[in-house]
Structure 1
Amino acid sequence: MRASVLVEPGVIEIRERPVPTPGPGDVLVRVASVGVCGSDAHYYREGRIGEFVVDQPIVLGHEASGTVVGVGAGVPAARIGQRVSIEPQRPDPDTDESRRGLYNLCPHMQFYATPPIDGALAEYVTIGSAFAHPVPDEMSEDAAALCEPLSVAIATTRKAGVTAGSRVLIAGAGPIGIATTQTALAFGATEVIVSDLDPQRRDVATKFGATAVLDPREQDVAGLHVDAFVDASGAPSAVLAGIRAVRPAGTVVLVGMGAPEMTLPVQTIQNRELVLTGVFRYANTWPTAIALARSGRVDLDSMVTGRFPLAEAEQALNADRAPGSLKAVVRVQE
């Protein structure tokens, strides 16, 4: 099979690799669509994200969909032919975290495209059968792949405690910010305010339902008194401003990939009894993601602004640098 391989930072090659064999409990998936995530671009350009370092060739891509074409021992043959959205993780079911249902925090996690585990920019992949989620016929291959970033948004929105009537501030109108905007509205938020430096991205946020947008250089958010603040930018200045925008007993959720350390307004957090937490991937989100996409309450297809064949995976990894780009996908079989 063909696979797009990151040989070293900045160098992508299309290589021939053996088709993987599904182990017990696994399915073999013929990959259709793979979304490009900011983490893929980080690995491609810098060769690392924090403690995760690329020290050998690796296949990128963890937002994936496809069709089951083979099964391992213990998996019903009836699964062959199913169109699926891949939840790209293999937790150890025997860890304390997995037993508590927090399998995303499993210390022995094997996650697609996180060194040294290969990802989905290849014609075939294997995954545990429970992590290959069947999707309805009317869902596109691209939307099925983007259930992955939608799952990040769902995990974020749950952590933020968003419910009917919530007022939410989101910093950053990239893919996760836009997915979280839609998810917060689907969860019942009546106000979703999106902050971004880029006027094009602010326009995109409005298109996807934001009730207000603002330029943080021109408007101080401190007086908003929102129920929840979500940072999807990773910018320390956005985090500091957002914390001050939250009402007493509100919630702050950090999901953007930002600085490994930053100074926080501890007195504000203490005096307002704010809950501050992070999001690391997701757990138990795919049924909700598929339901939201199927219902039309979240529009994943419209988030796609560029489609590339596997041979042009490198261009897809650089698509985020193009003005107006939101989400690039690689159509592996084209």
Structure 2
Amino acid sequence: MNETMQALVVQQPNVLEIQEKPVPLPGPNEVLARVRSTSICGTDAHLINGDYPGFWPPAFPFTPGHEWAGDIVQLGPGAEELGWKVGDRVAGTSHNACGVCQKCVEGRYNLCENYGKPGLHAQYGHNHQGADATYAVHNVKCIFRLPDSISYDEGAIIDPASIALHVARRGNINPGDTVAITGAGAIGMLAADAARICGAARVVVVGRGYRLKKAGALGSEIVDSEAGDPVAEVRELTGGRGADVVLECAGVPQTLTWAMAMLRKGGRCAMVGIPTEDVMLACKSLVLDELELVGSRASAGEMRRVMPFVADGRMQVGELITHRFPLVEYEKALATFNDRGSGAMKIIVNP
């Protein structure tokens, strides 16, 4: 192993460099992994664009990347005692929570009450240096064994697959439910698979363009948001009643408005998309129809739960990979990701 490595460094919003940096050393209960594949996430694009100033990241320069897979090359103190060894194939997730606050003890470490406090909580690739590099250090709380049947490229999409499963579980889907998905991006596609895994009888994806066509090819009913009123179309598909559950995966004000209007009486909307602006909601139906709107942040233990579904093909992560780039071409990879005309879904970067 060399003493230095390549790493993506965002010097300031939209100013990217590939730099030669020292290989980090793992501390207590940490491992050093050789990163084989990373995946570009919508959050990465926003972060690099400077959309969350002072929060994600707290400051520039910064190395993003939180969807990744690779293999362990070095163990920090205590990692071996916790069952890890050099050579283990792993997939990583971002939340390195404190483990001792009330939410962590209850298993909801994605809501760690010590979020962002130095030494207590780090979120890799968000407020802590990420995995867009040849090597990355992660706490053992944030890595999961990757089965041999899952490739590194597929492994880099385990984290968003776990987020999709989490939002489906937040939706409280019951067997036989009709579930609508607003947003035909990668999370929306994976949420459609997650809804079926949770027992949905019908899954309707609302979106547009090539992504919507892909959703149809992967087994969902589809509604083109540009062809008319998507709320009316979903209601027509459901005999006028609406969807039992809506998973809001686009994160824009209009789609949340649609999502709430698509719900059946007593329905529940779980929202994972994060709007960058405030949303105005009509609350009359929220009260009179006893609707529910809940947030869904990242995942909380679903990394392990989703892997068998990736391995057996029910979570169709490989179908979403459209482009691959080496790390030195990250700027080109990001431009492709941001270009809706490129046909991009999930873009894999191989350090």
- TM-score between the two structures when normalised by the length of structure 1: 0.94
- Structure 2 gaps of 5+ residues are 116-120
Spell out, residue by residue over 1:214-244, the C-alpha distance to the aligned partner (whole angstroms, 9 max, x if none): 3255034253411111111122122112211
The aligned counterpart of 1:111 is: 123
CA contact (8 A) 1:166 1:189 kept: yes
Please show how residues 298-317 of structure 1 align to structure 2 within 5 Å: 298-317=315-334
Spell out, residue by residue over 1:280-320, the C-alpha distance to the aligned partner (whole angstroms, 9 max, x if none): 11111111111110111111111111100010111112222
CA contact (8 A) 1:206 1:213 kept: no
Write the distance in 1 (CA, Å) between the matches of 2:300 and 2:125: 18
Shift of 1:130: 3.2
Distance 1:260-1:52 versus aligned 2 partners, 3 A rule: farther
The aligned counterpart of 2:210 is: 200
The aligned counterpart of 1:100 is: 106
Q: Give the aligned residue type for 1:64.
A: W
The aligned counterpart of 2:60 is: 56
Distance 1:327-1:7 versus aligned 2 partners, 3 A rule: same
Shift of 1:260: 3.6
CA contact (8 A) 1:39 1:49 kept: no
The aligned counterpart of 2:299 is: 282
The aligned counterpart of 1:178 is: 189
CA contact (8 A) 1:8 1:47 kept: no
* 1:166 and 2:183 correspond: no
The aligned counterpart of 2:77 is: 73
Write the distance in 1 (CA, Å) between the matches of 2:223 and 2:122: 38
Write the distance in 1 (CA, Å) between the matches of 2:344 and 2:181: 19
CA contact (8 A) 2:224 2:230 kept: no
The aligned counterpart of 1:152 is: 163
Q: What SS is found at the alignment partner of 1:262?
A: coil
* 1:269 and 2:286 correspond: yes
Write the distance in 1 (CA, Å) between the matches of 2:175 and 2:312: 18
Distance 1:56-1:50 versus aligned 2 partners, 3 A rule: closer
Write the distance in 1 (CA, Å) between the matches of 2:155 and 2:130: 16
Q: Give the aligned residue type for 1:67.
A: D
The aligned counterpart of 2:96 is: 90
Write the distance in 1 (CA, Å) between the matches of 2:226 and 2:195: 21
Count residues with an aligned counterpart.
330
Q: What SS is found at the alignment partner of 1:48?
A: coil
Q: Would you identify which runs of 4 or more consecutive aligned residues in structure 1 move more than 4 Å?
A: none
Write the distance in 1 (CA, Å) between the matches of 2:340 and 2:256: 26
- TM-score between the two structures when normalised by the length of structure 2: 0.90
CA contact (8 A) 2:212 2:222 kept: no
Counting aligned pairs with the same residue, the percent is: 31
Write the distance in 2 (CA, Å) between the matches of 1:283 and 1:86: 13
Q: 2:18 aligns with which of 6, 14, 19?
A: 14
Q: Give the aligned residue type for 2:348.
A: V
CA contact (8 A) 2:33 2:74 kept: yes
Write the distance in 1 (CA, Å) between the matches of 2:227 and 2:259: 13
CA contact (8 A) 1:43 1:54 kept: no
Write the distance in 2 (CA, Å) between the matches of 1:274 and 1:81: 49
- Structure 1 gaps of 5+ residues are none
Shift of 1:55: 2.6
Write the distance in 2 (CA, Å) between the matches of 1:204 and 1:220: 18
